[in-house]
Amino acid sequence: MGMDKKIEKKKGLKMKHILWIAGGLVITFLLYNVIFSDHSSVFRTEKDKLTISTVQAGLFNDYITVIGQVEPIYTIYLDVEEGGKVEEIFIEEGEMVKAGDVILRLKNYDLNTIIMNSESQLAYQANELRNTQISIEQQEISNRRSKLQIDLQVIQAKRKFNQYESLFNEELIAKEEYLRAKEDYDLSLKEQELTYKKLVQDSIFRSNQGLIMDESLANMRQNLIMARRRLENLNVKAPADGQLGLLNAEIGESISRGQRLGMLHILSDFKINALIDEFFIDRVRRNLSASFERNDVDFALNVKKVYPEVREGQFEIDMVFKGEKPKNIRTGQTYHIKLELGQSEEAILIPKGGFFQSTGGQWVYVLNKDETEATKRSIRINKQNPQYYEILEGLAAGEKIITSSYDLFGDNDKIVFK
């Protein structure tokens, strides 16, 4: 039986080894691409169609520009104190008036009747008061007569008692007559005491009653004056010098008491009213400085009042002139006003542009040194004025960024210029 022959293994690379090596190289290449290659999305565009701005280091002026409208320094509303029907209009809206000028006249027949009745009642009450006063005076005379009579009775009783006492001591009259004279005298003294007390009480009562009557009569007279004044209120008068800005009344129209007929503009001075975006509500306060230019002349303003209400995303402020006012200033004129919100200070600045609407100011496209492409970079904006944003983080002076709109760029991380 022959022996088995040993088969030697062939040396060198086999096909499976080659496949393993090739697979490893492919995997290595793919991993390299994943780790080290640029996967950012790219948008290609022409550079000359974009707005490129340079980041600056400069003075940031903390202000905003608002549109202000000239208004009178204050306005007086014309509310009717007495209702009635418009009988005649003397002054039309827009005309200048002086204090006390009659603007229009009302008529009210019911009010005339009421006042006539009040006058009649006053006359009746005054007559009643006079009658009462006469009665009090007569009572006072009667009290004085009563005092004289009681005093006379005491004198007479005392004289009789003294006489009877002397006669009784001399035993010329009976004791009964003496005692009766003594009792009459004692009684007259007691009656005199009671009469005096009554007269004192009557005097106090009459004094109080007199004060009450005088006060009542004075009140009645005052009521009559006020009633007659109501008739005068049918003449609607200008309360001060100014311009009649509005008049809502027509001849023959019935006007209710308290109804607003119009307004009177006081033109001794002016203020400027402006609407401001609610974004600045925490920074706008009284006494802030403002200014505007007209005919190459700067005019200074001061914030006088900040209204607390926010309506449709805006709030109001009133500003007054700190010095000279423009010539021929008129109510309703508008000015572009520079409102200072704080002190100027050194800062990193970028010009305002359409990019803000797309990014909310959170990032920008920054150009490389060769200006062949631009990449996204996060930034932090602090304050803004009509020209610049103040940059706190993310940019350095001298760098260039795209400040035009980013709407066409989508979510691409890089902009490559053709």
With respect to residue 21, please indicate whether it lies within any of the assigned structural domains. Answer: no
pLDDT in tens, 335-389: 999 999 888 889 999 999 999 988 988 999 999 999 999 999 999 998 888 899 9
Residue 388: which CATH number? 2.40.420.20
CA distances from 189 to 140, 194, 378, 404 (A): 22, 9, 116, 119
3-state secondary structure the chain: CCCCCCCCCCCCCCHHHHHHHHHHHHHHHHHHHHHHCCCCCEEEECHHHCCEEECEEEEECCEEEEEEEEEEEEEEEEECCCCEEEEEECCCCCCEECCCCEEEEEECHHHHHHHHHHHHHHHHHHHHHHHHHHHHHHHHHHHHHHHHHHHHHHHHHHHHHHHHHHHHHCCCCCHHHHHHHHHHHHHHHHHHHHHHHHHHHHHHHHHHHHHHHHHHHHHHHHHHHHHHHHHHCCEEECCCCEEEEEECCCCCCEECCCCEEEEEEEEEEEEEEEEEEHHHCCCCCCCCEEEEEECCEEEEEEEEEECCCCECCEEEEEEEECCCCCCCCCCCCEEEEEEECCCCEEEEEEECCCHHHHHCCCEEEEECCCCCEEEEEECEEEEECCCEEEEEECCCCCCEEECCCCCCCCCCCEEEEC
Is position 253 within any domain?
Answer: yes
Q: Indicate which CATH number applies to the domain containing 70.
A: 2.40.50.100
Give a yes or no: residue 396 inside a domain.
Answer: yes
Partners of 275 in the β-ladder = 316
Q: Which domain holds residue 215?
A: 110-232
Question: Where among 298, 318, 342 does a domain terminate?
Answer: 342
What confidence tens digit (pLDDT) does each residue in 36-89 have? 545 557 888 888 889 999 999 999 988 899 999 999 988 899 998 888 899 999
Mean pLDDT taken over the chain: 86
Checking if the pLDDT of 10 tops 60, the result is no
pLDDT at 245: 83
> For the chain, what percent of residues have pLDDT higher than 70?
91
Q: What is the mean pLDDT of residues 111-131?
A: 80
- pLDDT tens for 255-295 read 888 898 888 988 888 999 999 999 889 999 999 999 999 88
- Last residue of some domain: 199, 232, 265? 232
The lowest-confidence range among 24-28, 313-317, 353-357, 393-397 is 24-28
Same domain, 408 and 308: no
148 and 194 part of one domain: yes
Nearest residue to 290 (alpha-carbon basis) of 269, 273, 278, 265: 273
Specify if 25 maps to a domain.
no
- Give me the percent of the chain exceeding a pLDDT of 90: 39
Shared-domain flag, residues 58 and 68: no
Strand order in the sheet with 56-60: 56-60, 345-351, 388-393, 380-384
pTM: 0.54
For tokens 């009792």, the residue is: 183
Q: Is residue 98 part of a domain?
A: yes
Band (122; pLDDT cuts 50, 70, 90): confident
Task: Supply the pLDDT for residue 125.
Answer: 78
**pLDDT for res 8:** 53
Q: Tell me: do 391 and 322 sit in the same domain.
A: no
Residue with more model confidence, 249 or 23: 249
58 and 69, same domain (yes or no): no
Give the mean model confidence (pLDDT) for residues 246-260.
88
- pLDDT of 33 reads 55
Backbone angles phi, psi at 53, to 5 degrees: -125, 150
Q: What is the mean pLDDT of residues 130-145?
A: 84
Q: Is the same domain home to 72 and 168?
A: no
Bridge partners for 417 per DSSP: 45
| Residue ending a domain, choose from 176, 204, 232 | 232
CA distance 352 to 56: 12
pLDDT in tens, 184-228: 999 999 999 998 998 888 888 877 877 787 787 788 778 778 878
pLDDT of residue 140 exceeding 90, the answer is: no
pLDDT, mean of residues 400-412: 90
Q: Note whether 335 and 266 are same-domain residues.
A: yes
Number of domains in the chain: 3
Please report whether residue 17 resides in a domain.
Answer: no
Task: Give yes or no: residues 128 and 56 share one domain.
Answer: no
- Are 84 and 175 in a shared domain? no
pLDDT value at 113 more than 90: no
Mean pLDDT of 17-38: 62
Among residues 150, 156, 160, the alpha carbon closest in space to that of 190 is found at 150
pLDDT value, residue 30 = 64
120 and 184: one domain? Answer: yes
Whether residue 262 sits in one domain with residue 197: no
**Predicted pLDDT at 327:** 86
At 1, the pLDDT band (50, 70, 90 cuts) reads: very low
215 plus 358 within the same structural domain: no
Q: What is the pLDDT of residue 401?
A: 94
pLDDT of residue 291: 93
How far apart are the C-alpha atoms of 69 and 67, rounded to whole Å? 7
Q: Express each pLDDT in 155-179 by its tens digit.
A: 999 999 899 888 888 888 888 988 9
Whether 15 maps to a domain, the answer reads no
Structure tokens at 14: 């086999």
Rg of the chain in Å (alpha carbons)? 53
Terminal-to-terminal C-alpha distance of the chain: 85
Residue 28 included in any domain:
no
